[in-house]
Amino acid sequence: MAMILSSAAAWAQSTDQNYPTAISFPEISGAIRARDMGDARLTTYYYAFSGRQGDIFVNVVTKNFTGDIDVFNADGVRPLTKMVIYTGAEPGETGRLIYLRKSERLLLRIQGRSPNDDPATYRIKFGGSFVALAAGDIDDAPTIAGAQPDGAIRVNSVGTILPPVGKPVPERKPKQTVVESTAVNEPPVIVDEEKLDPAPAPGKGIGLPRAAPPARTSSRRGRTTAARPAQPPVRVVRSTPPPVEKKPDPLASIRLSIQLKAGETIYRPMSEVLRFSVNNGVLVVVGKDGKTSRYSILDVAKVTIE
């Protein structure tokens, strides 16, 4: 039964601080997948729980995990405790004791990465004045219609979206040239450009198919042979591919909204945003033009994608 509860608690992992995952059991567990070589970004998950007046016991067991585990006061994001964890040869275990003077809503942040190709795992147990939350106590994060499930979008170390695995590559057809003859009632001939003569020198016209040499005029026993009439010239018409219709940018109608506690709201089109993240209590927004904006998380009231 404990294994079933633990698996259910780790089923959903929120990466949005404004919509954390509600902790409904006194134990949670999860895993952080290894990133590509050279990708030093950290993976961050947010959980929410409550506590009554008294001591809350937090026990943490990690394996192949390097990073930080923090507990904040949900109102104002005031730090209550911090656990810095480094990877060792054996699973590591640590714990903290948090004293609350009154009942409060708390925010748990797990931020780390795997130092190798194996996933990093964590298991956290709560005790004392810990109070579990129901799934309805936390608002669900907004979803974008048509978005792919977790893991379906791959990115590289700089955040560029990579094409899906297994996407068929269209077969490239050989380029052909239509050669129109000037003779009457003769259909056009399709030939490969590779069989044409090399490109001529400037001023000598375009390359044409190799033609047979003209017949020689000879005289034998007083008889002459007339030369064969020259073949009519041919004109090469190079086919031009049809214009490619530019697909509309799906992010053109979506924007990033940052609402500050001072009342100001900042909007950025998602088509101009390369990535945004929260590092050490600072919201960092990086644009595709290289411009970087930073906002203290203490000044931010809400971050949404509209």
Q: What is the mean pLDDT of each run of 10 residues along the chain (306 residues)?
A: 42 84 93 90 95 95 95 92 90 93 95 93 95 79 51 58 63 62 55 53 51 54 60 72 77 81 85 84 86 86 84
CB atoms closer than 10 angstroms to residue 236 = 16
Which two three-digit tokens encode residue 118? 């194996």
So what's the pLDDT on residue 157? 56
Residues 6+ apart with CB under 8 A from 2: 27
Please report, as a single letter, which amino acid is at residue 43. Answer: T
Please tell me the number of Cα atoms within 13 Å of 192 on its side-chain side. 4
So what's the pLDDT on residue 93? 93
Burial class of residue 25, CB neighbours in 10 A (0-12, 13-18, 19+)? middle
Residues 6+ apart with CB under 8 A from 223: none
Q: Is 6 helix (H, G, I), strand (E, B) or coil?
A: helix
So what's the pLDDT on residue 86? 92
Residues 6+ apart with CB under 8 A from 26: 125, 126, 127, 130, 132
So what's the pLDDT on residue 4? 42
- Which stretches of the chain are DSSP H helices? 2-9
Q: CA separation (Å) from 71 to 14, 57, 301?
A: 15, 12, 19
So what's the pLDDT on residue 104? 93
Distance, CA of 120 to CA of 88 (rounded, Å) = 12
